[in-house]
Amino acid sequence: MGEEKNNVLAGVQEHIKKVCDSLGMEPAVYEILKEPLRFYEVTFPVKMDDGTIRMVKGYRSQHNDALGPAKGGVRFHPGVYADEVKALSAWMTIKCAIANLPYGGGKGGVVIDTRELSEGELERVSRGYIRAIAPYIGPLVDIPAPDMGTNPKVMGWMVDEYCKQVGYHAPGVITGKPIIVGGSLGRGPATGRGIMLTFKRFAQAEGFDPKGMRVAIQGFGNVGRSAALHLHELGCKVVAISDISGTVYNSKGLDVPALAKYAEKNPDNLKDAPGEHEVSADTRYALEVDADAIFPCALENQITEENAPRIKAKYVIEGANGPTTTAADQILQERGIKVVPDVLANTGGVTVSYFEWVQNLQNYYWTEEEINEKLEINMNKAFDDLYAMHKKHNVDMRTAAYMVAIDKLARAMKARGWF
């Protein structure tokens, strides 16, 4: 288990090193980017409903701020660990550079199982974490956001707690908030919409029509559900969807809107959803069904050396962070399966988070139509830059993504005099 955990950070470091070498970067570029500039580990007390005190561990990683303040989500999960948070913050640095956002990468995590908490306990954990990291974040320093296990309600508690700590109104410290306290229209479905927009642009570049294509989605939380709905609206035939309970499959296509409504009221229990479909207890089965494209939108390390040979799809569009291991990546390349990497495909969320932050700082808010229009423009520009690099250097799209990002980061760090 420890070896697998270490591979998450080692994997992103390997990608960075490979690209730094291929671009002929000075050694200092890799040395700066391989580790976060700042990493905080905190432990804070939480009063449980039974009156006992539980000590909870949390992390915050600020990977690089050459392009702007750190930006990245906070995940609540019992499996959160230090190297994972560091790796996720490095991915955020790469993503923000690719998406042309004035941010560096940040990430946070709390080692907690939210399914075991009452709402009151969840609120106390959320506020406790923000109190612990308040000295290290701020609207111009580091801006957290939702991730796995957190949501707009949690962000509302967090922004309120931060404002109490600093003594003034500062909505721009957190994004992904409820609309009424400074959240942005369009933020909830933004990651899923961005995945669809990336796939649509990818189809144009590769010369195929996404309408009628058989697609499968692993993960049916906020990201996977939004992606499934947007792909369904695009005209794709969604043949398989999975969550933690298992996979539902229908070769003729699933009733995505009905499954989405069911999942909203019955999270993590997709296998019991009514409808015409087969059920498998294997959550990774959605990655192996007969489909044209698969969308891993769950956890990291889902496509591995073990199951990569069984993937039947022509395309993999990564909705989750780090769903494909380095060894699996190589297998997919050798098999001619094209991967659209996470650092491009799932940047819709951070892009609209950036829009939310801008609106908070200006105290002027845009319509949802404006948000969606700006998102599509930004996603298309990011894709076009990456695809041009992919073609120019004849490299896979993940390598091209890192080339685009590291070139920008190196120029920014050089301009600042870091090396």
Residues 57 and 123 in one domain: yes
CB 40 within 8 A of CB 416: no
Range of the domain at 127: 36-170
Q: How far apart are CA 216 and CA 299, in angstroms?
A: 15
> Average of pLDDT values for 75-94?
95
Q: Domain tally for the chain?
A: 2
CA angle 56, 62, 66 (to 5 degrees): 170
Q: Looking at the domain assignment, is residue 178 inside a domain?
A: no
Residues 200 and 309 in one domain: yes
pLDDT of 5 > 80? The answer is no
What H or E segment, with its residue span, contains residue 6?
Answer: helix 2-22
Residues 60 and 133 in one domain: yes
Residues 163 and 195 in one domain: no
Q: Looking at the domain assignment, is residue 227 inside a domain?
A: yes
Q: Looking at the domain assignment, is residue 175 inside a domain?
A: no
Q: Looking at the domain assignment, is residue 341 inside a domain?
A: no
Q: Looking at the domain assignment, is residue 2 inside a domain?
A: no
Q: Looking at the domain assignment, is residue 31 inside a domain?
A: no
What confidence tens digit (pLDDT) does each residue in 112-166 have? 999 999 999 999 999 999 999 999 999 999 999 998 899 999 999 999 999 999 9
Q: How far apart are CA 30 and CA 271, in angstroms?
A: 45
- Cα separation of the two ends of the chain: 37
> Average of pLDDT values for 305-330?
94
| End-of-domain residue from the set 293, 319, 336 | 336
Residues 155 and 271 in one domain: no
| End-of-domain residue from the set 114, 141, 170 | 170
Give the pLDDT band (50/70/90) at residue 299.
confident
Residues 285 and 166 in one domain: no
pLDDT of 276 > 90? The answer is no
Q: Looking at the domain assignment, is residue 410 inside a domain?
A: no
Q: What is the pLDDT of residue 193?
A: 96
> Average of pLDDT values for 313-329?
93
Residues 291 and 159 in one domain: no
Strand intervals (E) in 65-119: 70-76, 104-110
What confidence tens digit (pLDDT) does each residue in 240-259 have? 999 999 999 999 999 999 99
Q: What is the pLDDT of residue 360?
A: 98
Q: Helix, strand, or coil here: 82?
A: helix
**Domain containing residue 155: CATH number:** 3.40.50.10860
* Backbone dihedral region for residue 323 (phi beyond 0: left; psi -120 to 50: alpha; all else: beta): alpha
| End-of-domain residue from the set 315, 336, 357 | 336
CB 331 within 8 A of CB 308: yes
Residues 211 and 136 in one domain: no
DSSP code string of 30-50: HHHHTS-SEEEEEEEEEE-TT
DSSP letter for 260, please: H
Q: Identify which of 284, 221, 299 has the alpha carbon closest to the alpha carbon of residue 5.
A: 299
**Domain containing residue 290: CATH number:** 3.40.50.720
pTM beyond 0.75: yes
Give the pLDDT band (50/70/90) at residue 1.
very low
Residues 142 and 214 in one domain: no
Give the pLDDT band (50/70/90) at residue 300.
confident
pLDDT of 3 > 50? The answer is no
Q: How far apart are CA 397 and CA 391, in angstroms?
A: 9
Residues 203 and 330 in one domain: yes
Residues 92 and 42 in one domain: yes
Residues 158 and 195 in one domain: no
Residues marked as catalytic:
107
Q: Helix, strand, or coil here: 317?
A: strand
Q: Identify which of 260, 342, 352 has the alpha carbon closest to the alpha carbon of residue 303.
A: 342
Q: Looking at the domain assignment, is residue 389 inside a domain?
A: no
Instruction: Quote the tokens at residue 391.
Output: 């073609």
pLDDT of 6 > 60? The answer is no
